[in-house]
Amino acid sequence: MHEGTITAFPLCLSLSLSLSLSLSLSLSLSLSKMEPSSYIETQNPQEVEITSHAPKLQQHEGVRRTSSNDKTEGNTINGLSLTWKDLCVTVPDGKNGGRRSILQGVTGYARPGEILAIMGPSGSGKSTLLDALAGRLHSKTRQSGDILVNGFKKTLAYGTSAYVTQDETLITTLTVRESVYYSAQLQLPNSMSKADKKERAEITIREMGLQDSMDTRIGGWGAKGLSGGQKRRVSICIEILTRPKLLFLDEPTSGLDSAAAYYVMRRIAKLDQHEGRTIIASIHQPCSEVFELFDNLCLLSSGKTVYFGHASSAMEFFALNGFPCPGFQNPSDHFLRTINKDFDDEDIEQGLSGRKPTEEVIKTLIDSYKSSTNYLEVNNEVAEICKKGDGALEKKKNHASFSTQCLVLTRRSFINMHRDLGYYWLRLGIYIALSIGLGTLFYDVGSNCSSIQARSSMLMFVASFLTFMAIGGFPSFVEDMKVFERERLNGHYSTGAFVVANTLSSAPYLLLVSVIPAALAYYLTGLRNGFDHYGYYTSVLFSCMLLVESIMMIVASLVPNYLMGIIVGAGIQGFMILGGGFFRLPNDLPAPFWKYPLFYVGFHKYAYQGLFKNEFEGVEYEYNEAGVRKIMNGEHILRDTWQVEMSYSKWVDLEVILAMVVICRVLFFVIIKIVEKVKPHLSGLTFVVPKKQVMQVSVKPLATPSH
């Protein structure tokens, strides 16, 4: 800090008493202008207390913060207390092959009925600490230290805790009411009636102040909907349906203006007074009004604790160490600017060379914190919580049954596909246009020998390029996967239910996309008469589309990027088309790769040969050779012209394609399960337990049926 500021500090102390009345009046007037009247209840000037360095902020409307004294004097709140001691986290360092420390010996606690704010500059370890406490660290991280729930090592059963991510991964086509109600049907047990679940959903929506937006769609790209703050509150609604005792929030105010941020946090602050909920939030730079809502503050810098204690005492801590907060300045701004070492070079360039280096400032604060009574109080509180050792946790809450999960997810996905024009409706329009173009290009090809090549080319185009366009739905697949990953990570439903529901909900639309364009192309071209032949032709097209969508879902689970996913999916299908036996006949395909294994594992072989058998088998074509009328039968065309395998019927080709659909869906399920293990996942509270603790519970966190 500047030398002048420190020198003026005693003078400010001596003048504070005489200026208290005038400052109180000016403070009341200035604060009344900072926020809309609907957000803040203005106090009388004489009710505002002025400190020597910064004014004490007002208590906001509808939010009463409970002090620690209130909690210890007979008003104990039942809930979950979370403590951590000497917590260290390291990650691999790609530069030197060693490991880099993210958190270094962090100690703290979170109690029922309180909000703990984790603050610090970018890269200080806020999100890492939050993820460590929630059991969401990446599998490559290493962690040590004690994390205890009510004084014991326990993993949290489903419904006991909830985690709200920074990104609003919501289904944009659903309304607020639909989003929360469908989630209630998935998360709440079958023992609750539909009416009770609906009531729980509506109560939760009202708790977050969204009653006026119940029938408004979430909205997203190209569709106007909720504001950023409202979306954030919908995400919170979904996660608190099970009434969790422990709520983790990752940057709940990120991307919001000050008014929206305050309104969101004000609603969150009310939650901690219901059922003794413990709330832990990582937050970057809250405004003054939001900062006042916090009970406790954990301030980090470079993975070390700069301050832990009551949020209202943080300014006093900084002032006692020679870094007082200037009057009327946002406390969080002052804290972060004081301990942010990213811009030291810029300060020197701007002529602030007299200022202490931030590294030295941080070291001073860390050393002062470790030698302060605050540090002893934190350790004593952690020891006291562990000593009480209330091992009685809530019993594991039940999910909806597997059949209910499948039914609800199918209904929700079906509605989403119906409302999202880009999912199937736009594709249907393009398919109809292409089918009309295909039908007019090959219009009424006739039944003579010269029509054989035209019929074959038309069938090849249908089996190859109409199915190829199924990759157009890949962006929607990626959005579905993002929603699934968030909901699955929070234990809303099983992976098997998602795979089954995705298959069932998409089947009617794929059937529609297959029947209408197939009929236009089939009858305009004048292919083989008979509804049974048309039915087989449509069945092959439908099966191929279902298979391509299954392949693209696998790609979406591995490559969650629009551009890369479309390129990978197009590349896979391109190779299958080339090796399908049309551009090079089967006997002419090079043996390595193209024939073994690509020709046999690619579905185009079975689609081409099945459609050719359906069109030419049992048919005779007339042609003239040197004025002599001759007949060519369909078996000769299949065997000699297209080198089709005639040892089995066309129905076997269709069965092989359907079997591939089942294999791909099972593979999709397996890949999702593998990705859950590799990507950031719920690793559980796997920390060392003090020897004095004898009770250990080993329960999978947020466990859901694997089905």
The residue ranking higher by pLDDT, 472 or 439, is 439
Close Cβ partners of 539 (under 8 Å, ≥ 6 residues apart): 654
The residue among 195, 211, 243 that closes a domain is 243
The residue ranking higher by pLDDT, 102 or 24, is 102
b/e 300-317 (16+ beta carbons within 10 angstroms → b): bbbbbbbbbbbbbebbbb
Token look-up 């199924």 returns 470
- Nearest CA to 610 out of 639, 666, 651, 550 is that of 651
The residue ranking higher by pLDDT, 351 or 291, is 291
User: 593: domain range?
Assistant: 402-678
Answer whether residue 117 shows pLDDT above 80.
yes
Over residues 489-496, the mean pLDDT reads: 90
Task: Please give the pLDDT value at position 608.
Answer: 96
What is the pTM assigned to this prediction?
0.79
Q: Is 683 domain-assigned? A: no
The residue ranking higher by pLDDT, 656 or 40, is 656
Give the 3-state secondary structure of residue 611: helix
Output phi, psi for 623, to 5 deg: -155, 155
Q: Is 2 domain-assigned? A: no
Residue 623 sits in the same domain as residue 577: yes
The residue among 208, 243, 278 that closes a domain is 243
Q: Is 28 domain-assigned? A: no
Residue 212 sits in the same domain as residue 330: no
Confidence of residue 36 (pLDDT cuts 50, 70, 90): very low
Quickly list DSSP for 564-587: HHHHHHHHHHHHHHHTSSSSS-GG
Local structure of residue 87 (DSSP, 8 states): E
Residue 384 sits in the same domain as residue 438: no
Whether the link from the prior residue into 121 is cis, omega within 30° of 0, is no
The residue among 388, 414, 431 that closes a domain is 388
Confidence of residue 386 (pLDDT cuts 50, 70, 90): confident
Task: Please give the pLDDT value at position 216.
Answer: 94
The alpha carbon of 695 is separated from its chain's Cα centroid by a whole number of angstroms, namely: 34
Answer whether residue 343 shows pLDDT above 80.
no
R_g (Cα) of the chain, nearest Å: 33
Task: Please give the pLDDT value at position 622.
Answer: 83
b/e 549-562 (16+ beta carbons within 10 angstroms → b): bbbbbbbbbebbee
Render pLDDT for 135-145 as a digit per residue (tens, 0 to 9).
888 878 889 99
Residue 179 sits in the same domain as residue 144: no
Angle at 556 between CA 554 and CA 560, to 5 degrees: 145
Secondary structure of 354-392 in HEC code, one letter for each residue:
CCCCHHHHHHHHHHHHHCCHHHHHHHHHHHHHHHHCCCC
Q: Is 689 domain-assigned? A: no
On whether the CB atoms of residues 328 and 55 are closer than 8 A, the answer is yes
Q: Is 44 domain-assigned? A: no
Residue 479 sits in the same domain as residue 624: yes
Task: Please give the pLDDT value at position 471.
Answer: 85
Task: Please give the pLDDT value at position 275.
Answer: 63
131-140, 316-325, 396-405, 537-546: which is most confident? 537-546
- Give the whole-angstrom CA distance, residue 657 versus residue 646: 17
Residue 561 sits in the same domain as residue 600: yes
- Give the whole-angstrom CA distance, residue 254 versus residue 168: 11
Residue 212 sits in the same domain as residue 265: no
Q: Is 36 domain-assigned? A: no
Confidence of residue 20 (pLDDT cuts 50, 70, 90): very low
Local structure of residue 49 (DSSP, 8 states): -
On whether the CB atoms of residues 171 and 410 are closer than 8 A, the answer is no
CA distance between the termini of the chain: 60
**Total number of domains in the chain:** 3
Over residues 545-561, the mean pLDDT reads: 90
Answer whether residue 291 shows pLDDT above 60.
yes
Structure token digits, residue 445: 């090809």
Output phi, psi for 85, to 5 deg: -135, 130
Render pLDDT for 606-621 as a digit per residue (tens, 0 to 9).
999 999 999 999 998 8
Over residues 169-178, the mean pLDDT reads: 94
Answer whether residue 600 shows pLDDT above 90.
yes
Q: Is 697 domain-assigned? A: no
What's the Cα-to-Cα distance from 579 to each of 132, 523, 592, rounded to whole Å?
Answer: 49, 29, 11
Residue 132 sits in the same domain as residue 200: no
- Number of Cβ atoms within 10 Å of the Cβ of 707: 15
Render pLDDT for 205-222 as a digit per residue (tens, 0 to 9).
998 889 999 999 998 776
Q: Which of 15-19, 167-171, 174-178, 277-281 has the lowest mean pLDDT?
A: 15-19
- Give the whole-angstrom CA distance, residue 207 versus residue 237: 8
Q: Is 20 domain-assigned? A: no
Residue 381 sits in the same domain as residue 411: no
Residue 221 sits in the same domain as residue 358: no
Residue 486 sits in the same domain as residue 577: yes
Domain of 270, CATH number, reads 3.40.50.300
Q: Please name the residue ranges forming H helices in 451-561.
A: 451-461, 467-468, 474-489, 495-525, 531-558
Residue 373 sits in the same domain as residue 468: no
Over residues 458-469, the mean pLDDT reads: 91
